[in-house]
Homo-oligomer: A and B are copies of this chain.
């Protein structure tokens, strides 16, 4: 048996999320089906984390336990030939001994894209949250976001239904930038990261919210975005997100933003876990 480390991208629009669910199309279901066709037997997969229905990935990491002896590059090509066009394997390598795609995560990076133009963008309807209620105040959102950076109890930004041992997480970065016409705006975190930067930077009616942390609670990015958007609209004061954080109560923060604006951009592993 060996463990392969796959880096995959997917357009989550058509899927009920990453995780296997009976009778529903999921990314894990399609990937395991392709693996079975290629290797002839079931090869269980484990992702760095689940993504919800409609959420996208530019660099999800998946561990695969298999006794298949194909070279990783051959397996990559075979998988891409068997997977639907909205899922792609970007990289396949042999994982180091004992690699665990969840336990070994050092940091994850998400991007959320908001479109606040008055008319919808026909090419970004699956990859951005269109809020036509008016232009958001990005400067106010940025100031409001500052207290969320650092090591905190993020209980106020967690949806119920997924109990965790601890709700303390460390947010390393939380940047909010408005796109600029003709330029891939926003700070570059990685090559893959630039995809949505470029995709959403064609006009200044796109806002890019980038969050890097050592881990995320269930719906944490979308709850933070939904809260910051209330500030951007002028419905809540800039102090509100920080106060909601301190309250450690989900009811004190804003609504959960919709899934289609969210991208899992990159997963960093501890040096020993990188092949």
Residues of A within 8 A of B (CB): 9-11, 56, 76, 80, 85-90, 119-123, 125, 127, 179, 181-184, 188, 191, 194-203
Complex Cα distance A80/B121, Å?
A: 11
The answer to whether B119 touches A88, judged by C-beta atoms less than 8 angstroms apart, is yes
Residue of B nearest to A132 (CB): B80
The answer to whether A80 touches B183, judged by C-beta atoms less than 8 angstroms apart, is no
Smallest CB–CB gap between A121 and chain B, Å?
Answer: 7
Smallest CB–CB gap between A8 and chain B, Å?
Answer: 9
Given contacts A119-B80, A119-B89, contact A183 B183 (CB under 8 A): yes
Complex Cα distance A119/B127, Å?
A: 20
The answer to whether A182 touches B198, judged by C-beta atoms less than 8 angstroms apart, is yes
The answer to whether B122 touches A87, judged by C-beta atoms less than 8 angstroms apart, is yes
Complex Cα distance A140/B119, Å?
A: 40
The answer to whether A123 touches B195, judged by C-beta atoms less than 8 angstroms apart, is yes
The answer to whether A184 touches B203, judged by C-beta atoms less than 8 angstroms apart, is no
Top-6 shortest CB links A-B: A198-B202, A195-B202, A182-B194, A182-B184, A194-B202, A11-B122
Given contacts A181-B191, A184-B182, contact A86 B197 (CB under 8 A): no
Smallest CB–CB gap between A245 and chain B, Å?
Answer: 31
Q: What chain B residues lie within 8 Å of A85 (beta carbons)?
A: 120, 122, 125
Q: What chain B residues lie within 8 Å of A203 (beta carbons)?
A: 191, 194-195
The answer to whether B194 touches A88, judged by C-beta atoms less than 8 angstroms apart, is no
Complex Cα distance A123/B126, Å?
A: 9
Smallest CB–CB gap between A51 and chain B, Å?
Answer: 13
Smallest CB–CB gap between A258 and chain B, Å?
Answer: 14
Smallest CB–CB gap between A148 and chain B, Å?
Answer: 26
Residue of B nearest to A11 (CB): B122
Smallest CB–CB gap between A123 and chain B, Å?
Answer: 6
Complex Cα distance A89/B118, Å?
A: 11
Smallest CB–CB gap between A195 and chain B, Å?
Answer: 4
Given contacts A184-B183, A191-B181, A194-B182, contact A199 B89 (CB under 8 A): no
The answer to whether A123 touches B119, judged by C-beta atoms less than 8 angstroms apart, is no
Complex Cα distance A10/B121, Å?
A: 9
Q: What chain B residues lie within 8 Å of A188 (beta carbons)?
A: 181-182
Given contacts A86-B125, A125-B86, A195-B123, contact A201 B184 (CB under 8 A): yes
Given contacts A202-B195, A203-B191, A203-B194, contact A88 B182 (CB under 8 A): no
The answer to whether B201 touches A198, judged by C-beta atoms less than 8 angstroms apart, is yes
The 16 listed contacts between A and B (C-beta, < 8 Å) are A56-B123, A80-B120, A85-B120, A85-B125, A88-B120, A88-B121, A88-B122, A123-B199, A179-B198, A181-B184, A181-B191, A181-B194, A182-B184, A182-B198, A184-B201, A191-B203
